[in-house]
A = this chain, B = another copy of it.
Protein backbone atom coordinates (compact mmCIF):
# COMPACT_ATOMS: atom_id res chain seq x y z
CA UNK A 1 0.00 0.00 0.00
CA UNK A 2 3.00 2.25 0.55
CA UNK A 3 3.96 1.48 -2.99
CA UNK A 4 6.90 -0.86 -2.66
CA UNK A 5 5.03 -3.79 -4.20
CA UNK A 6 4.26 -4.37 -7.88
CA UNK A 7 1.80 -6.94 -9.17
CA UNK A 8 -1.07 -8.83 -7.67
CA UNK A 9 -0.31 -12.52 -8.23
CA UNK A 10 3.30 -12.37 -9.30
CA UNK A 11 4.42 -9.74 -6.84
CA UNK A 12 7.70 -7.93 -6.35
CA UNK A 13 8.36 -6.01 -3.14
CA UNK A 14 11.60 -4.06 -2.95
CA UNK A 15 13.63 -2.10 -0.43
CA UNK A 16 16.85 -0.19 -0.42
CA UNK A 17 18.48 3.23 -0.56
CA UNK A 18 21.24 4.29 -2.89
CA UNK A 19 23.70 4.69 -0.05
CA UNK A 20 22.41 2.08 2.41
CA UNK A 21 24.06 -1.30 2.98
CA UNK A 22 21.97 -3.23 0.45
CA UNK A 23 19.06 -3.42 -1.95
CA UNK A 24 16.65 -6.32 -1.80
CA UNK A 25 13.44 -7.78 -3.15
CA UNK A 26 10.96 -10.52 -2.45
CA UNK A 27 9.39 -12.13 -5.51
CA UNK A 28 6.23 -13.97 -4.60
CA UNK A 29 3.94 -16.17 -6.66
CA UNK A 30 6.48 -17.67 -9.01
CA UNK A 31 5.31 -21.03 -10.33
CA UNK A 32 7.30 -23.95 -8.92
CA UNK A 33 9.61 -26.05 -11.04
CA UNK A 34 11.18 -23.20 -13.03
CA UNK A 35 14.93 -23.67 -13.53
CA UNK A 36 16.60 -20.57 -12.08
CA UNK A 37 20.12 -19.55 -11.13
CA UNK A 38 21.76 -16.32 -10.03
CA UNK A 39 23.38 -16.14 -13.47
CA UNK A 40 19.95 -15.85 -15.08
CA UNK A 41 19.39 -12.67 -13.12
CA UNK A 42 22.91 -11.36 -13.49
CA UNK A 43 22.65 -11.17 -17.28
CA UNK A 44 20.06 -8.41 -17.23
CA UNK A 45 21.67 -6.71 -14.25
CA UNK A 46 24.87 -6.42 -16.25
CA UNK A 47 22.96 -4.82 -19.12
CA UNK A 48 21.68 -2.13 -16.73
CA UNK A 49 24.88 -1.74 -14.75
CA UNK A 50 26.48 1.71 -14.64
CA UNK A 51 30.01 2.44 -15.71
CA UNK A 52 30.15 0.22 -18.77
CA UNK A 53 30.70 3.07 -21.24
CA UNK A 54 31.76 6.69 -21.02
CA UNK A 55 28.16 7.75 -21.67
CA UNK A 56 26.80 6.63 -18.32
CA UNK A 57 27.61 7.39 -14.70
CA UNK A 58 31.08 6.36 -13.60
CA UNK A 59 29.80 5.04 -10.30
CA UNK A 60 30.97 1.41 -10.22
CA UNK A 61 28.61 -1.07 -8.66
CA UNK A 62 29.10 -4.75 -9.50
CA UNK A 63 25.41 -5.33 -8.68
CA UNK A 64 26.06 -8.93 -7.76
CA UNK A 65 22.72 -10.54 -6.89
CA UNK A 66 22.18 -13.37 -4.41
CA UNK A 67 19.15 -15.67 -4.26
CA UNK A 68 18.40 -16.30 -0.58
CA UNK A 69 15.30 -18.50 -0.75
CA UNK A 70 12.63 -20.00 -2.96
CA UNK A 71 15.06 -21.92 -5.18
CA UNK A 72 16.16 -25.44 -4.25
CA UNK A 73 18.30 -27.79 -6.26
CA UNK A 74 18.20 -25.39 -9.22
CA UNK A 75 14.45 -24.91 -9.53
CA UNK A 76 11.90 -22.60 -7.94
CA UNK A 77 9.86 -24.15 -5.14
CA UNK A 78 6.84 -21.86 -5.34
CA UNK A 79 7.72 -20.09 -2.08
CA UNK A 80 8.91 -16.51 -1.74
CA UNK A 81 12.19 -15.74 -3.54
CA UNK A 82 14.48 -13.45 -1.55
CA UNK A 83 17.01 -11.37 -3.53
CA UNK A 84 19.89 -9.26 -2.23
CA UNK A 85 22.43 -6.90 -3.79
CA UNK A 86 24.99 -5.36 -1.48
CA UNK A 87 26.00 -1.79 -2.14
CA UNK A 88 29.74 -1.47 -2.45
CA UNK A 89 30.58 1.91 -4.01
CA UNK A 90 29.34 4.21 -1.27
CA UNK A 91 31.88 7.01 -1.31
CA UNK A 92 31.96 8.80 1.97
CA UNK A 93 31.44 12.41 1.18
CA UNK A 94 30.22 15.61 2.72
CA UNK A 95 26.47 15.92 2.38
CA UNK A 96 26.42 19.01 4.55
CA UNK A 97 24.94 21.40 2.03
CA UNK A 98 22.66 18.97 0.18
CA UNK A 99 21.06 17.98 3.46
CA UNK A 100 18.98 21.13 3.85
CA UNK A 101 18.59 22.12 0.21
CA UNK A 102 16.21 20.91 -2.46
CA UNK A 103 17.76 20.09 -5.83
CA UNK A 104 15.44 21.44 -8.57
CA UNK A 105 13.33 18.78 -10.29
CA UNK A 106 14.48 16.13 -7.85
CA UNK A 107 12.33 14.31 -5.33
CA UNK A 108 13.97 16.18 -2.45
CA UNK A 109 11.25 18.76 -2.00
CA UNK A 110 8.28 16.40 -2.40
CA UNK A 111 9.80 13.70 -0.13
CA UNK A 112 10.52 16.32 2.50
CA UNK A 113 6.88 17.39 2.55
CA UNK A 114 5.68 13.80 2.54
CA UNK A 115 7.81 12.29 5.28
CA UNK A 116 9.40 15.15 7.20
CA UNK A 117 12.64 13.15 7.24
CA UNK A 118 14.63 11.69 4.37
CA UNK A 119 17.85 9.90 3.58
CA UNK A 120 19.50 12.68 1.61
CA UNK A 121 22.54 10.69 0.56
CA UNK A 122 22.33 10.30 -3.19
CA UNK A 123 18.58 10.54 -3.31
CA UNK A 124 17.97 7.70 -0.87
CA UNK A 125 14.92 5.74 -1.87
CA UNK A 126 14.17 8.07 -4.80
CA UNK A 127 17.43 7.18 -6.49
CA UNK A 128 17.23 5.22 -9.74
CA UNK A 129 19.45 2.73 -7.99
CA UNK A 130 16.30 0.93 -6.83
CA UNK A 131 15.65 -0.10 -10.42
CA UNK A 132 18.37 -2.74 -10.05
CA UNK A 133 15.88 -4.86 -8.11
CA UNK A 134 13.25 -4.35 -10.81
CA UNK A 135 15.66 -5.76 -13.33
CA UNK A 136 16.53 -8.74 -11.12
CA UNK A 137 12.87 -9.54 -10.50
CA UNK A 138 12.01 -8.93 -14.13
CA UNK A 139 14.59 -11.49 -15.14
CA UNK A 140 12.63 -14.14 -13.22
CA UNK A 141 9.48 -13.14 -15.05
CA UNK A 142 11.31 -13.23 -18.38
CA UNK A 143 12.57 -16.72 -17.58
CA UNK A 144 9.04 -18.02 -17.06
CA UNK A 145 7.61 -16.08 -20.01
CA UNK A 146 10.32 -17.53 -22.25
CA UNK A 147 9.19 -21.01 -21.22
CA UNK A 148 5.76 -20.02 -22.58
CA UNK A 149 7.16 -18.70 -25.86
CA UNK A 150 6.98 -15.03 -24.90
CA UNK A 151 9.93 -12.70 -25.57
CA UNK A 152 10.19 -9.17 -24.13
CA UNK A 153 12.76 -6.86 -25.73
CA UNK A 154 13.37 -3.14 -25.92
CA UNK A 155 15.44 -0.53 -27.69
CA UNK A 156 16.12 3.19 -27.77
CA UNK A 157 13.91 4.88 -30.34
CA UNK A 158 14.97 8.47 -29.75
CA UNK A 159 17.86 10.25 -28.02
CA UNK A 160 17.17 13.92 -27.50
CA UNK A 161 16.31 15.22 -30.98
CA UNK A 162 17.64 12.12 -32.79
CA UNK A 163 14.88 9.71 -33.85
CA UNK A 164 15.98 6.15 -34.54
CA UNK A 165 14.20 3.63 -36.74
CA UNK A 166 14.19 0.01 -35.79
CA UNK A 167 16.55 -2.08 -37.92
CA UNK A 168 17.31 -5.27 -36.01
CA UNK A 169 17.38 -6.85 -32.55
CA UNK A 170 20.95 -7.92 -33.20
CA UNK A 171 22.06 -4.32 -33.46
CA UNK A 172 20.48 -3.48 -30.10
CA UNK A 173 22.86 -5.74 -28.23
CA UNK A 174 25.96 -4.42 -29.89
CA UNK A 175 26.20 -0.88 -28.56
CA UNK A 176 25.92 0.96 -25.28
CA UNK A 177 22.74 2.79 -26.33
CA UNK A 178 20.48 -0.17 -27.11
CA UNK A 179 20.29 1.49 -30.52
CA UNK A 180 18.58 -0.75 -33.09
CA UNK A 181 20.34 0.87 -36.06
CA UNK A 182 24.12 0.29 -36.18
CA UNK A 183 24.58 3.17 -38.61
CA UNK A 184 23.31 5.72 -36.11
CA UNK A 185 25.59 4.80 -33.21
CA UNK A 186 28.38 7.20 -34.16
CA UNK A 187 25.89 10.04 -34.29
CA UNK A 188 24.64 9.19 -30.82
CA UNK A 189 28.18 9.09 -29.46
CA UNK A 190 28.98 12.47 -30.93
CA UNK A 191 25.79 13.92 -29.49
CA UNK A 192 26.58 12.61 -26.03
CA UNK A 193 30.14 13.86 -26.14
CA UNK A 194 28.91 17.38 -26.95
CA UNK A 195 26.27 17.11 -24.22
CA UNK A 196 28.92 16.38 -21.61
CA UNK A 197 30.92 19.36 -22.78
CA UNK A 198 27.74 21.45 -22.40
CA UNK A 199 27.40 20.15 -18.83
CA UNK A 200 23.81 19.35 -19.65
CA UNK A 201 21.50 16.35 -19.91
CA UNK A 202 18.83 15.20 -22.35
CA UNK A 203 15.74 12.98 -22.59
CA UNK A 204 15.13 9.78 -24.50
CA UNK A 205 12.40 7.55 -25.83
CA UNK A 206 12.39 3.79 -25.33
CA UNK A 207 10.28 1.22 -27.13
CA UNK A 208 9.43 -2.16 -25.60
CA UNK A 209 7.94 -5.06 -27.51
CA UNK A 210 6.52 -8.38 -26.31
CA UNK A 211 6.09 -11.11 -28.87
CA UNK A 212 4.31 -14.41 -28.46
CA UNK A 213 1.77 -13.11 -25.95
CA UNK A 214 -1.42 -15.19 -26.16
CA UNK A 215 -4.73 -13.40 -26.66
CA UNK A 216 -6.75 -12.89 -23.49
CA UNK A 217 -4.39 -11.20 -21.02
CA UNK A 218 -5.70 -8.14 -19.17
CA UNK A 219 -8.70 -7.60 -16.93
CA UNK A 220 -11.67 -5.37 -17.65
CA UNK A 221 -12.34 -2.68 -16.75
CA UNK A 222 -9.74 -0.99 -14.54
CA UNK A 223 -6.89 -3.44 -14.91
CA UNK A 224 -6.72 -3.53 -18.68
CA UNK A 225 -3.39 -4.73 -19.88
CA UNK A 226 -2.55 -1.32 -21.34
CA UNK A 227 -3.51 0.41 -18.08
CA UNK A 228 -1.29 -1.89 -16.07
CA UNK A 229 1.56 -1.47 -18.54
CA UNK A 230 1.17 2.29 -18.26
CA UNK A 231 1.33 1.94 -14.48
CA UNK A 232 4.45 -0.17 -14.56
CA UNK A 233 6.30 1.87 -17.16
CA UNK A 234 5.35 5.25 -15.69
CA UNK A 235 6.63 4.05 -12.31
CA UNK A 236 10.19 4.04 -13.69
CA UNK A 237 12.22 7.05 -12.58
CA UNK A 238 12.13 9.97 -15.03
CA UNK A 239 9.34 8.58 -17.23
CA UNK A 240 6.84 11.31 -18.22
CA UNK A 241 4.75 9.59 -20.89
CA UNK A 242 3.58 6.18 -22.05
CA UNK A 243 2.03 5.15 -25.34
CA UNK A 244 0.50 1.86 -26.43
CA UNK A 245 0.69 1.23 -30.16
CA UNK A 246 0.19 4.45 -32.10
CA UNK A 247 -0.35 6.40 -28.87
CA UNK A 248 -0.67 10.14 -29.38
CA UNK A 249 -0.57 9.73 -33.14
CA UNK A 250 -4.05 8.19 -32.81
CA UNK A 251 -5.48 11.61 -31.99
CA UNK A 252 -5.23 12.81 -35.58
CA UNK A 253 -6.10 9.43 -37.13
CA UNK A 254 -9.46 8.47 -38.56
CA UNK A 255 -11.25 5.27 -37.58
CA UNK A 256 -10.97 3.87 -41.09
CA UNK A 257 -7.21 4.25 -40.82
CA UNK A 258 -6.62 3.22 -37.19
CA UNK A 259 -8.68 0.06 -36.96
CA UNK A 260 -6.63 -3.08 -37.50
CA UNK A 261 -8.52 -5.24 -39.93
CA UNK A 262 -8.35 -9.00 -39.65
CA UNK A 263 -8.15 -11.75 -42.23
CA UNK A 264 -7.71 -15.49 -41.77
CA UNK A 265 -4.01 -14.88 -42.48
CA UNK A 266 -3.70 -12.43 -39.60
CA UNK A 267 -4.09 -8.79 -38.68
CA UNK A 268 -3.35 -6.32 -41.49
CA UNK A 269 -1.75 -3.74 -39.18
CA UNK A 270 -0.99 -3.13 -35.51
CA UNK A 271 -2.01 0.42 -34.68
CA UNK A 272 -3.49 -0.89 -31.43
CA UNK A 273 -0.13 -2.14 -30.16
CA UNK A 274 -1.50 -5.59 -29.44
CA UNK A 275 -4.29 -4.60 -27.05
CA UNK A 276 -8.01 -4.53 -27.89
CA UNK A 277 -10.50 -3.42 -25.24
CA UNK A 278 -7.70 -3.70 -22.71
CA UNK A 279 -7.09 -7.37 -23.53
CA UNK A 280 -4.15 -8.75 -25.49
CA UNK A 281 -5.05 -9.64 -29.07
CA UNK A 282 -2.22 -12.02 -29.85
CA UNK A 283 -0.29 -9.39 -31.81
CA UNK A 284 2.97 -7.96 -30.54
CA UNK A 285 2.50 -5.69 -27.52
CA UNK A 286 4.20 -2.38 -28.32
CA UNK A 287 4.79 0.41 -25.81
CA UNK A 288 6.80 3.63 -25.95
CA UNK A 289 8.00 5.65 -22.99
CA UNK A 290 9.37 9.14 -22.68
CA UNK A 291 12.19 9.80 -20.21
CA UNK A 292 12.94 13.33 -19.15
CA UNK A 293 16.48 14.73 -19.00
CA UNK A 294 18.01 14.13 -15.60
CA UNK A 295 18.13 17.15 -13.36
CA UNK A 296 21.54 16.25 -11.94
CA UNK A 297 23.62 18.69 -13.94
CA UNK A 298 26.47 20.89 -12.88
CA UNK A 299 24.92 24.04 -14.33
CA UNK A 300 23.80 26.05 -11.27
CA UNK A 301 20.05 26.28 -10.64
CA UNK A 302 17.82 28.35 -8.40
CA UNK A 303 16.13 26.63 -5.46
CA UNK A 304 15.20 27.00 -1.79
CA UNK A 305 16.32 25.38 1.43
CA UNK A 306 14.17 23.78 4.13
CA UNK A 307 13.62 27.17 5.72
CA UNK A 308 12.31 28.65 2.48
CA UNK A 309 15.42 30.71 1.77
CA UNK A 310 16.70 31.04 -1.80
CA UNK A 311 19.82 29.03 -2.64
CA UNK A 312 21.85 28.20 -5.73
CA UNK A 313 22.31 24.48 -6.29
CA UNK A 314 24.97 22.66 -8.28
CA UNK A 315 24.53 18.90 -8.42
CA UNK A 316 27.95 17.34 -8.37
CA UNK A 317 28.66 13.66 -8.27
CA UNK A 318 28.65 10.90 -10.86
CA UNK A 319 25.41 11.13 -12.83
CA UNK A 320 24.03 9.84 -16.10
CA UNK A 321 23.73 12.68 -18.62
CA UNK A 322 20.91 10.68 -20.23
CA UNK A 323 19.12 8.27 -17.90
CA UNK A 324 17.37 6.84 -20.92
CA UNK A 325 20.54 5.08 -22.03
CA UNK A 326 20.35 2.53 -19.24
CA UNK A 327 16.53 2.44 -19.17
CA UNK A 328 15.93 -0.27 -21.76
CA UNK A 329 16.48 -3.26 -19.43
CA UNK A 330 14.33 -1.55 -16.80
CA UNK A 331 11.48 -1.02 -19.25
CA UNK A 332 11.75 -4.64 -20.36
CA UNK A 333 11.59 -5.71 -16.72
CA UNK A 334 8.43 -3.73 -16.03
CA UNK A 335 6.73 -5.10 -19.12
CA UNK A 336 7.79 -8.64 -18.24
CA UNK A 337 6.50 -8.25 -14.66
CA UNK A 338 3.18 -6.91 -15.93
CA UNK A 339 2.72 -9.71 -18.44
CA UNK A 340 3.73 -12.36 -15.93
CA UNK A 341 1.22 -11.07 -13.41
CA UNK A 342 -1.54 -11.04 -16.00
CA UNK A 343 -0.66 -14.49 -17.28
CA UNK A 344 -1.29 -15.85 -13.78
CA UNK A 345 -4.38 -13.72 -13.25
CA UNK A 346 -5.85 -14.88 -16.54
CA UNK A 347 -5.06 -18.49 -15.77
CA UNK A 348 -6.66 -18.32 -12.34
CA UNK A 349 -10.06 -17.38 -13.67
CA UNK A 350 -10.04 -18.81 -17.16
CA UNK A 351 -8.09 -22.03 -16.92
CA UNK A 352 -11.09 -23.98 -18.24
CA UNK A 353 -11.63 -21.83 -21.35
CA UNK A 354 -10.80 -23.22 -24.74
CA UNK A 355 -12.02 -21.89 -28.07
CA UNK A 356 -11.74 -23.25 -31.57
CA UNK A 357 -11.13 -19.82 -33.10
CA UNK A 358 -7.63 -19.54 -34.55
CA UNK A 359 -5.11 -17.17 -32.98
CA UNK A 360 -4.07 -14.44 -35.41
CA UNK A 361 -0.72 -12.68 -35.25
Partner pick for A262 among B68, B102, B268, B297, CB 8 A cutoff: B102
Binary interface encoding of chain A residues 164-196 relative to chain B, with 1 for a CB under 8 A from any of its CBs, else 0: 000000000000000000000000000000010
Binds B, one of A43-51, A52-60, A236-244: A236-244
Q: Does A201 contact B (CB under 8 A)?
A: yes
A208-231 residues with Cβ-Cβ distance < 8 A to B are: 214-224, 226-231
Q: Does A143 contact B (CB under 8 A)?
A: no
Q: Which residue of B lies closest to A201 (CB)?
A: B255
Q: How distant is the Cα of A246 from the Cα of B299 in the complex, in angstroms?
A: 21
Q: Does A256 contact B (CB under 8 A)?
A: yes
Q: How distant is the Cα of A254 from the Cα of B244 in the complex, in angstroms?
A: 25
Q: Does A93 contact B (CB under 8 A)?
A: no
Contact status B250-A248, CB under 8 Å: no
Contact status A357-B112, CB under 8 Å: yes
Closest Cβ of chain B: how far from A196's Cβ, in Å? 12
Contact status A278-B235, CB under 8 Å: yes
Q: Which residue of B lies closest to A247 (CB)?
A: B241
Q: Does A6 contact B (CB under 8 A)?
A: yes
Q: How distant is the Cα of A255 from the Cα of B248 in the complex, in angstroms?
A: 24
Of listed A31, A204, A246, A251, residue having the most chain B CB within 10 A = A251
Copies in the complex: 4
Contact status B28-A4, CB under 8 Å: yes
Partner pick for A3 among B32, B221, B280, CB 8 A cutoff: B221
Binary interface encoding of chain A residues 111-127 relative to chain B, with 1 for a CB under 8 A from any of its CBs, else 0: 11111111100001110
Q: Which residue of B lies closest to A352 (CB)?
A: B31
Q: Which residues of B contact A317 (CB under 8 A)?
A: none
Q: How distant is the Cα of A243 from the Cα of B291 in the complex, in angstroms?
A: 11
Q: Which residues of B contact A350 (CB under 8 A)?
A: 31-32, 78, 114-116
Q: Does A39 contact B (CB under 8 A)?
A: no
Q: Which residues of B contact A356 (CB under 8 A)?
A: 306-307
Asked whether A357 and B306 contact (CB < 8 A) given A203-B252, A349-B9, the answer is: yes
Pick the 4 closest A-B CB pairs, nearest first.
A107-B277, A3-B219, A3-B223, A201-B255
Beyond A224-B235, A251-B291, 16 additional pairs, beta carbon < 8 A: A1-B29, A17-B79, A33-B115, A33-B353, A77-B119, A79-B125, A107-B277, A110-B275, A111-B277, A112-B357, A200-B254, A227-B231, A241-B248, A256-B301, A308-B358, A347-B347
